[in-house]
A = this chain, B = another copy of it.
Amino acid sequence: MHQKNILQGIIAYPITPFDRQERVNLSLFKLLVERLVLSGAHGLAPLGSTGVLPYLTDEEKEAVAEAAIQQVNRRVPVVVGVSNLTTERTIYHARFAEKAGADAVMVIPMSYWKLTEDEIFTHYSKVAESISIPIMAYNNPATGGIDMSAALLKKLLQIPNVTMIKESTGDVQRMHYLRRELGEAVAFYNGSNPLALCAFAAGAKGWCTAASNLAPDSVLELYNAVQANDLAAARAVFDRLFALLQFIVAKGLPRTIKAGLKIQGVESGYLRSPLQPLAEADYRQLESILLGVR
| Chain A residues in the interface with B (C-beta under 8 A) | 22, 49, 52-55, 85-88, 109, 112-116, 118-120, 122-123, 126, 143, 145, 172-173, 176-177, 179-180, 194-195, 197-198, 201-203, 226, 229-232, 234-235, 238-239, 242-243, 246, 252-255, 272-276, 279
| A49: contacting residue among B112, B115, B194, B226, CB under 8 A | B112
Chain B residues with Cβ below 8 Å from A238 are 176
Are B231 and A86 neighbours in the complex by a CB distance under 8 Å? Answer: no
What number of copies of this chain does the assembly contain? 4
Chain B residues with Cβ below 8 Å from A255 are 113
Query: In the complex, A270 Cα to B252 Cα: how many Å?
Result: 37
Among residues of B, the one whose C-beta sits closest to the C-beta of A231 is: B231
Are B113 and A52 neighbours in the complex by a CB distance under 8 Å? Answer: yes
Among residues of B, the one whose C-beta sits closest to the C-beta of A249 is: B173
Chain B residues with Cβ below 8 Å from A53 are 112
With A85-B55, A88-B22 known to touch, is A279 a contact of B118 (CB < 8 Å)? yes
Are B276 and A119 neighbours in the complex by a CB distance under 8 Å? Answer: yes
Query: In the complex, A109 Cα to B274 Cα: how many Å?
Result: 9
Are B176 and A274 neighbours in the complex by a CB distance under 8 Å? Answer: no
Chain B residues with Cβ below 8 Å from A22 are 88
| A85: contacting residue among B49, B54, B113, B254, CB under 8 A | B54
| A274: contacting residue among B87, B202, B234, B252, CB under 8 A | B87
Are B231 and A226 neighbours in the complex by a CB distance under 8 Å? Answer: yes
Query: Closest CB-CB distance, A85 to chain B, in whole Å?
Result: 5
Query: In the complex, A148 Cα to B116 Cα: how many Å?
Result: 27
Among residues of B, the one whose C-beta sits closest to the C-beta of A184 is: B239
